[in-house]
Amino acid sequence: MIQVTDFHKAYRGTVAVEALSFDVQPGQVLGLLGPNGAGKTTTMRAIAGVIPPTRGRLLVAGQDVSIDPVAAKRLLAYVPDDPKLFDALTVWEHLQFIASAYRVSDFEPHATALLDQFELIPKRDSPAQELSRGMRQKVAICCAYLHNPRAILFDEPITGLDPHGIRTMKDSVRQHAAAGAAVVVSSHLLSLVQDLCTHLLILHHGRRIFFGPVEDARAAFANVSGDASLEEMFFRATEGNVVATAG
């Protein structure tokens, strides 16, 4: 569903991501991990068609992001770490706008169900400028789900959410993955990744350190015990200069 092959991105001679390849199959939830500056956001923005690759091929459900970006974006949703809403538009007007942009007909029942799921019904007619940070995050997630994307990218998705909102967000990711979507979640909260993701991609200095199923991560790092937490594996991967891959 998401296929990245030999992705390379450089900014004015500075390499942000180098020779990165991985894929995310339908039903998988990939945790994208790495220290600050590892290339996580650059990778997600390139898949979403926000920035062009320096070289490499990025496919979303078989559509090449560089060759036919509109076709690829129709199948994709991307929620950045700080979603920018239209301050003057209400919550419902945001959903109307997304429905129009993605040509979603009869969107009202689905939109209403999303607002109910994320406890936004009371804020349906409130302009975005009156919403809290967490509520703005919920609106962005609802907008992302409205056109039933086949690939979904989340960059720090639970920022500003309260505990109930975090549980709802995690449940929604599981639901969409179970329905066949491929999901990528980038977060510094390792407990979220450990609880939610089926696969891991660890980046360091723009290069792939590990890629594979979560259960294979311990085997990839010889000095990590069998009951090691994801935090222990992460520090082993990013501080031990180890390069490992399960696939």
Kindly report the CATH number assigned to the domain that includes residue 19: 3.40.50.300
The pLDDT value recorded for residue 233 is 77
Measured CA to CA, the distance from residue 237 to residue 217 in angstroms comes to: 10
* Nearest of 78, 83, 93, 197 to residue 147 by alpha carbon: 78
- Whether 243 shows a pLDDT value over 90: the answer reads no
Query: In this structure, is residue 24 part of a structural domain?
Result: yes
Number of structural domains in the chain = 1
Q: What pLDDT digit, counting tens, does each position of 22-51 carry? A: 999 999 999 999 999 999 999 999 999 999
Q: Is residue 103 part of a domain?
A: no
Residue 15 above 70 pLDDT? yes
Nearby residues of 35 by Cβ (< 8 Å), 6 or more positions away: 204, 238
Q: What is the chain's alpha carbon radius of gyration, rounded to the nearest angstrom?
A: 18
Tell me, yes or no, whether 116 lies in a domain. no
What pLDDT does 221 receive?
A: 64
Q: Alpha-carbon distance 42 to 89, whole Å?
A: 29
Q: Is 169 exposed, middle or buried (0-12, 13-18, 19+ CB in 10 A)?
A: buried
- Inside any domain, residue 97: no
Residue 233 inside a domain? The answer is yes
Contact status, residue 33 vs residue 203, Cβ threshold 8 Å: yes
Q: Note the pLDDT of residue 229.
A: 75
Sheet with 207-213, edge to edge strand ranges: 76-79, 151-155, 182-186, 29-33, 199-204, 207-213
Contact of 184 with 152, CB cutoff 8 Å: yes
Q: What is the pLDDT of residues 94-138, one digit of tens each?
A: 999 999 999 999 999 999 999 999 999 999 999 999 999 999 999
The answer as to whether 47 is a domain residue is: yes
pLDDT attached to residue 5: 98
Per-residue pLDDT, averaged over 193-203, amounts to 94
Predicted confidence band of residue 232 (pLDDT cuts 50, 70, 90): confident
Are the CB atoms for 141 and 91 separated by under 8 Å? no
Residue 240's pLDDT is 58
Identify the three-state secondary structure at position 128: helix
Mean pLDDT on 223-240: 70
Q: Give the span between the Cα atoms of 121 and 98, in whole angstroms.
A: 18
| Within-domain flag for 115 | no
Q: How far is CA 96 from the centre of its chain?
A: 23
pTM above 0.85, yes or no: yes
Task: Tell me the CA end-to-end span of the chain in Å, nearest whole number.
Answer: 16
Indicate whether 76 belongs to any domain: yes
pLDDT at position 19:
96
Specify the pLDDT at position 219: 73
Pairwise CA distance, residues 135 & 149, whole Å? 21
Structural domain harbouring 9:
2-84+149-239
